[in-house]
Structure 1
Amino acid sequence: MNMRKQSLIHLDGRTVTLIDSGTDDHGQYLLVEHVIIQQGAMNGPHWHPVLQEKFTVKEGRMRFVIDGRETIVEQGGCITIHPNETHQFWNVSDNRLIALHEVRPPGQHWKMFEFIHKLECEGKLNKKGVPLNPLWLGVAWKCIDGYIVGPPRIVQTVFLGGLARLAEFLGYRI
């Protein structure tokens, strides 16, 4: 499964770099590096039924809220988010943040990073990073391998999953 190293450079200067992917003694994984220039939220609150994520802060500081518990991770520290834990994270560094992000199993996470980058570069996201077109929203939702906080899981599965199926039927591709 090893993918070739590549970087996605966003309009605001942040980068997501594919470091490694494959299988080891603990199963399949994806390892990416995030370099974030601006302070603030890096995502909205969400959860994954299967994925486990581990963040290691190489430079700067990250704030996490996991199942309502707030934690600050300093340079050299790490934190693991287990399946079904609701989480959100922020860059709270004085300067830039550099963090390694390990995802097990990788699911569609790299596709998600590539897809959101593509939509951003094409001007198809709002200021919060959400696709403007509901069909692209369905495709993006399918890539997160999880659920956003708020709408019940069944509503997301039916509505956003339905948008994803309609988008695919109409030829929308990642």
Structure 2
Amino acid sequence: MAKNIFIAIAFLTGLGLIFIGARFMISPEIAEAGYGINFNEQHDYSFHYIKGIRDLFTGLLICILMLSKQTKALGLTLLLGTVIPLIDMFIVLSKDYNGFAQAIPHISAIIICFFCGIFFLRNNNVKKTDNTGFAKVIRSVDTNEDSTIEYNIMPGEKTPWHYHNLFSETFEIVRGTLEVGLKNQVYQKKTGDIVTIQPNEKHYFHNTSNDDCLIKVTISPGNKNFENALLILKGLAKDGLASTSGVPKKLSDLALFIYLNNSRMVGPQKIAETLFNYLAKKAIKRGRLEELELKYCRGSFIGDFNFV
């Protein structure tokens, strides 16, 4: 309940700043009076326009951060932005013709910016969880024609557009929701939904929710490298060696994941394929792949689940 209230206040603050900024641009004298000063501008509204564009930008920034759920950035913007209404208040109160009443709007803005900023910084949009990485091979190509792996996709975790040319993928959403891009369409999938991606079909996934998404993927024909790629990726995440979006922090580990995963890039990213191939081969030669497989693919544990 409290979160919804602060969200509404922040969004209305952004809209209010957009209105104030637009008013300074369109009706500078009216906006000047509302601000709380009397200035003999002699039809030169340069400073009014400067004030207007400042408020327009700030309001748009707050609304965009709010709509894109960039909670931490929004909190920092509001908290640091407290200095703006604070200085405005001092300017208004410095005028002999003003009293406390003219300072009330600026004091209100100080309170809103400060407390909303603190709230959003302390209540980050992404939930924290101890189980940052989980993957389990249910059926392996070692004993079956296909590979089936169950793993979780953390909030914010995503892949770029890519495709595979060695196998098809069938995703089943076991729990949660997931945004899936397939060909040129974007779909919102929920628990129980199944998506099949054929070889050479470009796709991506992105967990845009606040909760992890548990999926079961079947690779046909089975692929041992793909199995190991997911075990390694989730192992790195568990050990803090991957970003919140699921990308390995070391470039060589990322290159190895792309190699094992049979990922082929599309668009401008395709330029990087040659570099990743080189880095993967170099990492294999110096034993990094063997090190990762020994650590994460042979009886290792992530969370409460045993890797098969």
TM-score by length of 2: 0.45
Deviation at 1:44, TM superposition (A): 2.6
CA distance in 1, matches of 2:175, 2:248: 30
Query: Matches of 1:167 and 1:23 in 2, distance apart?
Result: 25
Bigger helix share: 2
The whole-number CA distance in structure 2 between the counterparts of 1:63 and 1:119 is 23
Counterpart of 2:30?
none
What is the distance in 2 between the residues matched to 1:126 and 1:34? 17
Task: Give the drift of 1:47.
Answer: 0.9
Greater relative CO (CA pairs within 8 A, separation 6+): 1
CA distance in 1, matches of 2:197, 2:208: 18
For 2:277, what is the secondary structure of its paired residue? Answer: helix
| Structure 2 alignment gaps of length 5 or more | 1-128, 293-308
**Identical pairs, percent:** 20
Higher strand share: 1
8 Å CA contact 2:157, 2:244 repeated in 1: no
| Cα deviation, residue 14, structure 1 | 4.5
TM-score for the superposition, normalised by structure 1: 0.74
Question: For the residues of structure 1 that align with 2:208 and 2:245, how far apart are their CA atoms?
Answer: 18
Cα distance in 2 for residues equivalent to 1:118 and 1:34: 11
Match runs of 1:50-129 below 5 Å: 50-91=166-207, 96-107=212-223, 108-129=225-246
- The runs of at least 4 consecutive aligned structure 1 residues that moved more than 4 Å come to 92-96
Whether 1:18 and 2:137 are equivalent positions in the alignment is yes
Counting matched residue pairs gives: 160
What per-residue deviation string (whole Å, max 9, x for no partner) do you get for residues 7-34 of structure 1? Answer: xxx955452222123489xx82111223
Larger Rg: 2
2:259 counterpart residue number: 142
> How far 1:109 moved relative to its partner?
1.4
**DSSP 3-state at the match of 2:199:** coil
